[in-house]
Chains A and B, each alone.
Chain A
């Protein structure tokens, strides 16, 4: 299954994490699963990078973490979007769409 997966583009991992957390608070494993599911298995996530990204976003104040019981009654660290994170998510999505559109334009002209 690893073979047909693409690595997440550098720099877009933060955006994917923010978008995923925008739906609801989640723990690390949940975020990885959700991204894989939503991309229909195309985007695989290096789990190590995921936790570093979570730490990074926490330092920036985009997300906050808290411990609470998970669905199967384990203690898990849940991350949620902060208001600042929500604002940044909006900005990042806009600039990502602009970028994709620009790349499409270039690809389409050739």
Chain B
């Protein structure tokens, strides 16, 4: 076998030499045979003739010899490719159009597929990622599903579920810490994790070691693992870093290891992994089972299945219900494969985009197939001659397919380049928090390459097939007789083209409808009143390190000073501080009870925030009843303000002012009661699409927090006062780093960035799809007009008016459009339900959207049919008829 391949390869690369050698060998043989014949007494001419006869025909031998070399198909391919390239070069306009169309669409496919590959297909960068599961709590009253776990529940799951080899946990909120590196404070993202965090993931340190199981607990030496990025960029990749100490929030920690490059679980940009540091005494406290703030990841034993683990976990949850009725009465537990959980709701938008580019690809293929049909129709004489000369049907079909493969290869090579650029564009366009594509870049790996190769081949075959089938069915006499001008053949070609154009219109309509729905949905989102006025507000996030701000007085004093001095900046109208900005995260929540209601009556969770007195004025949140806070609300009595949502849901008709509330489900003697003093408008806590949740807001002076955002309403562009705010912060505390400084309008935009991302991309694809489909319709109608030019000339010569002749052509284009639109509407209505979960305030069957999409597409198609028809209406019959 090996010999054979070697022989074939040699034969291929030294084709001319092999041919020459064979010629020479035959000549040598014939010469010797001739000599012998002459010796036998023949005349030289006869001797040579006999020598050749005995040989049995040298050409036949040569052919057989060539076939036996095993390179025949390759030689044909090379010849076909040369031929195809020549043919394509003869018609540069068609070729450029086809290649450009393919490159654009294959580029879009490459980019989107790379994104899908990076997010949905690529396995997690952990050892045996298939064995990892995410474990979460379910609570049907609070509508929790796979929610954060309470630490005590985590410890029980870990101890009691036999299918778990081990389970780790980490705090499910972004923590930040100030590191002092070379004397400069730097704010970094920290993950608080249990000691077995790395071992459960199966990730080992790049340098040093990872955390140890016992380091979960307080009392062990304070250690951290740092990221490869921090190590390289801030610590100059110091090889002796292990064992040195680093200041984290003012405390000295020993660096025990450097995580591998690129590792940043559980969220992007983590620089420090620190122990969660529980104390053993803490585990028995009720809060350890009541506060839910952990994500739990377990590794299954080798032989355990997901189903077994799920069943065991459910059993354990039942046991815990019985053992801890006070906290676990309605607490269930569930697990899901880690990858699926992490992909979460990114899956649908990405699949929608993948579907869209797939449809786009189909439109492009149909267009190129039509171009190829036009080209084939122009070449029917050539093909007929070749068939008449004995060219095999299969051979001709193969040639047609080769031609389209050359096109699609050129298109995909360009498309691959465009796709690479497209991945940069996707990264640049994606939401700033990295919530769509959780990676900094995505490589074009073997899956992407295979995908592009596959679609290139598929395109080549798909749009090569039509002309190929057509070529192989040709009866040569027919084409030769008609002089390549018209006849039944042309009608058949046209039927093909028209069917393809109908499909193009249908698909373009579906794409445009999808994009239209997303655009409308986004417009609805923009119209949502977020409950505050985001214009001209600068938000500055500050986190005070607990080591240096270890008393309520210190924290309160700092923020009082800061807010006071920010208000003094020229151009600042008012300033305040708040624990959680609206349109970001929901923040903390708890149970609650109202005075006079039976214990455990309220089964919803209530959001909490603390603000300084001027918050509502600064953000222009309307005060609906009662009052908001004053500087006097310091000690008891404790007061709160509730939002409108809360007032409407729980005080139907009653006046909430003066009522008392506590943040316990079952109030006892230790509960703190707070008096409701006012009702304010509801702000959207998470995003415009998420309706406001019930919320209680307490004065910062009665319940302080080290993590606050300072909001300042300004007269002009809020960023103009940013330097002044920075100066004040460093004036107050030179060791403090600012976590983030943003305009509130940017915060608002960020809360819709995912919707914008999807809408923008899908609109781009829809526009491309519609343009391609319209070009397709134009092409088909133009070809029709051209082929009926003579007929039109005769009609006009016989007295038909130009307009009625035009109508004959336009009618055809409109018929194609009408059928396409109808098919598209039916398809889109069936498929649009997919989008339901991605839409806000718009039904997938939204009639105004449908109507405007149909009108736009119909109008464009009309213009595309009218342009070529105009020309045939103006045909000069004399010129046309004289050409005959």
Where the two chains meet, the residues of A that have a C-beta atom closer than 8 Å to any C-beta of B are 27-29, 46-48, 51-52, 55-56, 58-61, 67, 70, 74-77
Known: A51-B65, A52-B65. A59 touches B57 (CB 8 A): no
Which 6 pairs, one residue from A and one from B, show the smallest C-beta to C-beta distance?
A61-B3, A48-B56, A29-B32, A48-B61, A29-B29, A59-B7
Contact partners of A48 in chain B: CB under 8 A:
55-57, 60-61, 64
Residue from B7, B29, B64, B68 having most chain A Cβ neighbours under 10 A = B29
14 contacts between A and B (CB under 8 A): A27-B25, A29-B29, A29-B32, A46-B56, A51-B22, A51-B26, A55-B68, A58-B7, A59-B3, A67-B21, A74-B31, A75-B28, A76-B25, A77-B24
Across-interface contacts of B553 in A (CB, < 8 A): none
Across the interface, do A28 and B7 meet the contact criterion of CB distance under 8 Å? no
In the complex, B4 has a CB within 8 A of chain A: yes
Determine the residue in chain A with the shortest Cβ distance to B26: A51
B28 touching A74, Cβ below 8 Å:
yes
List A contacts of B31 (CB < 8 A).
74
Give bound CA distance, A52 to B60, whole Å: 11
Contact flags B623-655 to A (C-beta < 8 A → 1, else 0): 000000000000000000000000000000000
Select which of A59, A70, A77 is within 8 A of B4 by beta carbon.
Answer: A59
- Say whether B33 faces chain A, with CB atoms less than 8 Å apart: yes
Q: Are the CB atoms of B7 and A51 closer together than 8 Å? A: no
Partner of B3, one of A27, A28, A60, A67: A60
Does B54 sit at the interface, judged by CB under 8 A? yes
Q: Which of A27, A55, A56, A74 is most buried by chain B, counting CB atoms within 10 A of its CB?
A: A55
Size category, B interface: 20 to 34
Question: CA–CA, A57 to B21, complex, Å?
Answer: 17
B54 to chain A: which residues have CB within 8 Å?
47
Q: A32 → chain B, closest Cβ, in Å?
A: 8
Closest to A52 in B: B64
Interface string of B64-108 (1 = CB under 8 A from A): 110011100000000000000000000000000000000000000
Contact indicator B33/A29 (Cβ below 8 Å): yes
Give the residues from 237 to 285 in chain B that come closer than 8 angstroms, CB to CB, to chain A: none
Given the complex, which residues of A lie within 8 Å of B26, measured CB to CB? 51
In the assembled complex, the Cα of A57 lies from the Cα of B7 at a distance in Å of 11
Nearest residue (CB) in B for A49 is B56
Inter-chain CA distance A29–B51, complex, in Å, is 11
Residue of A nearest to B36 (CB): A33
Min distance, Cβ B330 to any Cβ of chain A, angstroms:
78
- Indicate if the CB atoms of A76 and B28 lie closer than 8 Å: yes
SS class, residues of chain B in contact with chain A: helix
Which residues in A have their C-beta under 8 angstroms from that of B7? 58-59
Contact code string B7-25 (vs A, CB < 8 Å = 1, else 0): 1000000000000011011
Q: How far is the CA of A61 from the CA of B32 in the complex (A)?
A: 27
Q: Known: A77-B25, A77-B28. Contact between A47 and B55, CB under 8 A? A: yes
**In whole angstroms, what is the CA distance A75 to B29 when docked?**
11
| In the complex, residue of chain A having the shortest beta-carbon distance to the beta carbon of B3 | A61
Expressed in whole angstroms, the Cα–Cα distance for A58 and B11 within the complex equals 12
> Which residues of B are found within 8 Å of A56, using beta-carbon distances?
68
Q: In whole angstroms, what is the CA distance A56 to B64 when docked? A: 11
| Residues A60 and B4 in contact in the complex (CB < 8 Å), given A48-B56, A48-B64, A74-B31 | yes
Given A51-B65, A77-B24; A28-B56 close (CB under 8 Å): no
- Report how far A61 CA is from B7 CA in the complex, Å: 9
Known contacts A47-B54, A60-B3; is-contact A29 B28 (Cβ 8 Å): yes
Q: How far is the CB of A13 from chain B (nearest CB, A)?
A: 14
Contacts of A29 in B (CB 8 A): 28-29, 32-33
- B residues within 8 A CB of A59? 3-4, 7, 68, 70
Are B29 and A47 neighbours in the complex by a CB distance under 8 Å? yes
**B40-69 to A contact mask, C-beta < 8 Å, 1/0:** 000000000000001111001100110011
* Alpha-carbon separation in the docked complex, A75 to B55 (Å): 20
> In chain A, what residue has the closest Cβ to B21?
A77
Contacts of B68 in A (CB 8 A): 52, 55-56, 59
> Once the chains are docked, how many angstroms separate the CA of A75 from the CA of B20?
13
Chain A residues within 8 Å of B61, by CB: 48, 51-52
Chain B residues with Cβ below 8 Å from A27 are: 25, 28-29
Min Cβ gap B505→A in Å is: 55
Q: Which residues of B contact A55 (CB under 8 A)?
A: 65, 68-69
Instruction: Give chain B nearest CB distance to A8 CB in angstroms.
Output: 14
Is A47 touching B24 in the complex (CB atoms < 8 A)? no
- Distance between Cα atoms of A103 and B32 in the complex (Å): 38
- The complex places the Cα of A6 from the Cα of B377 at a distance, in Å, of 56
Complex: A108 Cα to B31 Cα, angstroms: 46
Give the residue name and chain of the A residue nearest to B29 (CB): A29
Tell me the complex Cα distance, A58–B65, Å: 12
Cα separation A91 to B588 with both chains bound (whole Å): 87
**Which B residues are CB-close (under 8 A) to A46?**
56
CB distance from A87 to the nearest CB of B (A): 14
- Minimal Cβ-Cβ distance residue in B for A82: B3
A27–B55 alpha-carbon span in the complex (Å): 15
For B56, list chain A residues within 8 Å (CB). Answer: 46-48
Q: For residue B68, which residue of chain A has the nearest CB?
A: A55
Which chain A residues border B4 with CB–CB below 8 Å? 59-60
Query: Within the complex, what minimum Cβ distance (angstroms) separates A55 from chain B?
Result: 5
Greatest chain A CB density within 10 A among B26, B28, B33 is at: B28
Complex: A31 Cα to B68 Cα, angstroms: 21
CA distance A56 to B7 in the complex (A): 10
Q: Which residue of B lies closest to A30 (CB)?
A: B32
Contact A28 B24 (CB under 8 A): no
Q: How far is the CA of A75 from the CA of B27 in the complex (A)?
A: 11
Q: 8 extra interchain contacts, Cβ-Cβ under 8 A, other than A27-B25, A27-B28, A27-B29?
A: A47-B55, A51-B26, A52-B65, A59-B3, A75-B28, A76-B25, A76-B28, A77-B28
Residues on A with C-beta less than 8 A from B3 are 59-61
Give chain B nearest CB distance to A50 CB in angstroms.
Answer: 9
A residues near B28, Cβ cutoff 8 Å: 27-29, 70, 74-77
Considering only residues 449-474 of chain B, those with a C-beta below 8 Å from chain A are none
Q: In the complex, which residue of chain A has the Cβ closest to the Cβ of B4?
A: A59
Q: Quick one: CB contact mask for B823-858 with A, threshold 8 Å, 1 for yes?
A: 000000000000000000000000000000000000
* A86 shortest CB reach to chain B, Å: 15
Q: Within the complex, what minimum Cβ distance (angstroms) separates B284 from chain A?
A: 81
CB nearest neighbor in B for A51: B61
Complex CA gap A70/B35 in Å reads: 15
Residue of A nearest to B61 (CB): A48
Bound CA span A34–B56, Å: 20
Residue of B whose beta carbon sits closest to that of A1: B40
Complex contact B64–A28 (CB within 8 A): no
Shortest Cβ gap from A101 to chain B (Å): 32
Q: A28 contacts B25, CB within 8 Å?
A: yes
CB distance from B881 to the nearest CB of A (A): 60
A6 to B25, CA, bound (A): 25
In the complex, are the beta carbons of A51 and B60 less than 8 A apart?
no
Shortest Cβ distance from B31 into A: residue: A74
Q: Which residues of A contact B70 (CB under 8 A)?
A: 59
Q: In the bound complex, how far is the Cα of B249 from the Cα of A6, in angstroms?
A: 102
Q: Which residues of chain A have C-beta atoms less than 8 A from B21's C-beta?
A: 67, 77
Taking CB atoms, residues of chain B closer than 8 Å to A77 are 21, 24-25, 28
* A28 surroundings in chain B (CB, below 8 A): 25, 28-29
Alpha-carbon gap, A73 to B880, bound state (A) = 72
Q: Render B303-335 as a binary contact track against A, CB cut-off 8 A, 1 for contact.
A: 000000000000000000000000000000000
- Report Cα–Cα, A55/B56, bound state, in Å: 17
Closest to A76 in B: B28
With A and B bound together, what is the CA distance between A76 and B7 in angstroms?
20
Q: How far is the CB of A10 from chain B (nearest CB, A)?
A: 15
Cα of A29 to Cα of B36 in the assembled complex, Å: 11
- CA A67 – CA B21 in complex, angstroms? 9
Inter-chain contacts of A75 with B (CB < 8 A): 24, 28
Closest to B56 in A: A48
Please name all residues of chain B whose beta carbon is closer than 8 Å to the beta carbon of A76 when the two chains form the complex.
25, 28
